[in-house]
Amino acid sequence: MALRHAVLTALLDGEHSGYQLAKSFDVGMANFWHALPQQLYAELAKLEADGLVAGREVVQEARPNKRLFTVTDAGLAELRRFARTPSKPSFIRDDLLVKVAAADAVDAAELIAQLDERAAIAGAKVELFDKLMRKMRGELGEAEYLAHGTQVGPYLTLLRGRRFESENREWCTEAASVLRARAGADVTR
């Protein structure tokens, strides 16, 4: 039941609407948790009912009204309690890896195309994370930021996401080239 804690964490750096969360979940948070807008709206409603976040209505003219949420003291306490509970080892779920595991039994050309596509997506994520990290660091170098910056938490998780996607890109490229080489060898045999 960590979605609520991911939401509380996302709200630590100020008030957000459900809509804003839905966006930021696809950038800073997406390395370790993912959620659809509907889930976030539902979770915010539950968190408010439980007194862990407080919402305030903001009336707008040119746009629909919105509700901005902040973490309450009870919410902060809940987050601290959560941080003390044991963590279960993480897991990945990846359709593409399932397909690669079945590489010996399925169409190679199609797999290669999907690996190339995924490598490109991962590359774009690497650049996005680099940008976010540069922005967060500001004037400071990485070592300095890690030592003295505010928001080490988010910075560390961005670092993790950056490495994951970089790793991902490299592996997809390699796997594609391995499959290409084997397909080529089969043809000339």
Partner DNA sequence: ACATACATGTAATCAGTTACATGATTAT
Partner DNA sequence: ATAATCATGTAACTGATTACATGTATGT
The region of 37-45, 50-58, 127-135, 146-154 touching a copy of itself under the rule CB under 8 A is 146-154
| Among residues 23, 81, 134, 160, the one that binds DNA under rule CB under 7 A | 23
Strand partners, 67: 57
Nearer to DNA, 93 or 148 (CB): 93
Strands 53-58 and 66-71: antiparallel
Task: Work out whether 19 is an interface residue with DNA (CB under 7 A).
Answer: yes
In contact, 4 and 46? CB cutoff 8 Å: yes
Strands 16-17 and 53-58: unpaired
Task: Work out whether 169 is an interface residue with a copy of itself (CB under 8 A).
Answer: no
Report CA dihedral (57, 61, 62, 68) to the nearest 10 degrees: -10
Nearer to DNA, 19 or 171 (CB): 19
- The region, left, alpha or beta by phi > 0 then psi within -120 to 50, assigned to residue 75 is alpha
Residues 142-181 close enough to bind DNA by CB under 7 A = none
The string over 162-178, giving b where at least 16 C-beta atoms fall within 10 Å of a residue's C-beta and e elsewhere, is bebbbebbebbbebbee
| Among residues 14, 26, 32, 37, the one that binds DNA under rule CB under 7 A | 37
Task: Work out whether 129 is an interface residue with a copy of itself (CB under 8 A).
Answer: no
Task: Work out whether 45 is an interface residue with DNA (CB under 7 A).
Answer: yes
Task: Work out whether 38 is an interface residue with DNA (CB under 7 A).
Answer: yes
Contacts with DNA by CB under 7 A lie at: 1, 3, 17-20, 22-23, 34-39, 41-42, 44-45, 60, 62-67, 88, 93
